[in-house]
Amino acid sequence: MIYCGIDWAEHTHDIALVDDTGKLLAKRHITDDVSGYTLLLDLLAEHGDTEDQPIPVAIETSRGLLVAVLRQGKRQVFAINPMAAARYRDRYSVSRKKSDPGDALVLANILRTDMHAHRTLPNDSDLARAIAVLARAQQDATWNRQQISNQLRSLLREYYPAVLDAACIWQNGLCRPEIRELLKTAPTPARAARLTRTQIQAALKRAGRKRGIESETERFRGIFRAEWAHQPPMVEDALGKQMLALLVQLEAACTAADDLAEAVEEAFPQHPDADVILSFPGLGIQLGARILAEIGDDRDRFADARSLKAYAGSSPVTRASGKKSSITRRRVKNDRLNHAGHLWAFSSLRASTGANTHYWRRRDRGDWYAAALRNLFNRMLGQFFHCLRQHELFEENLAFPAPLAAAA
């Protein structure tokens, strides 16, 4: 049996091949291009790599062109956590020395000794991987939009509180096109106070507003012409220019989030598991796509529901030593899946009577808000695993059966 370890970098990669005894058979330094990938495949072929029995490869990343080349065919590719690789490095050297060829050798030896303890990259379909790219990008764009919105809110509090008062009727109001258009028209409160009804109406129409323009115009005009504290004129103008620079970033983030959301809405319904995922209460297209992106459609990825719950961080972890024992939440988890699960559990409270009852039952037992939601997510994730395996739709009566006394 031959094992391969690859220490990857931005421009070059180091390769190491070892046998069952740990003997170094070959090492190579390749570039990150087509010629380098060809050298790698030729090196593997020289040492017995075939289509039916490919040489397993360990690498400290799960993405990139190099990983895409290695995943062709039946090859097993192991994405080793860099922290785990660092612990293994101390096993082979006590001097704390480190080098790229040495790290490649460490990765190869990880497979030689503990390949059974590590999982290969999931064999997801191309559609599932495409949905994962879009869903994660949309999630990142949403977080980026919120971050820039918070920066803009903090800046407006320093010199332009009238806009915050005008946007408070909407959730995340600074991202509304009406507010962004008004900020471009009047970047300072002095200019906003001089806006006419016609100018405000024109700004609302440019933002796409079609109903309630007259009432909104009077509301904005009343807020802008009210008594507010002001910065000195020169300072106010400087803050207005800073605000316009942030506004450009916010508009780009809003556009990116909306475009990616449309792409997810187009791709996600094409997946065979979409109908099962959307049957669960609280899951829509965007949130369901995020769940699918992190779980994938490889049915052999998780042996049972318990493994999936541990991966999502919804199940507790027990720490015991001697006579001391504690049960706490998991800190090592898939953060994206855990975040989506929190939103899923929260949105299911209104969509499912059984989920709402389960949540309040946990609260009555003493769980705090986050702990009760995590427990609900843990239960629904087990149901989710079963429905995906059997390709069955969610059924409220089976998922949350009524107690016998209440049924009677």
pLDDT tens-digit readout, 185-232: 999 999 999 999 999 999 999 999 999 999 999 999 999 999 998 999
Average pLDDT in the chain: 91
* HSE-CB for 266 with a 13 A CA cutoff: 8
Could you give the percent of the chain with pLDDT greater than 70?
Answer: 99
pTM for this prediction: 0.86
pLDDT confidence of residue 408? 45
Mean pLDDT on 296-319: 90
pLDDT value at residue 73: 83
- DSSP per residue, 205-272: HHTT--SSHHHHHHHHHHHHTS------HHHHHHHHHHHHHHHHHHHHHHHHHHHHHHHHHHHGGGST
| Separation of CA 353 from chain center | 28
pLDDT over 80 at 145, yes or no: yes
| pLDDT value at residue 406 | 53
User: Which tokens is 22 given?
Assistant: 């740990």
Give the fold, CATH level 3, of 3-117. Answer: Nucleotidyltransferase; domain 5 (3.30.420)
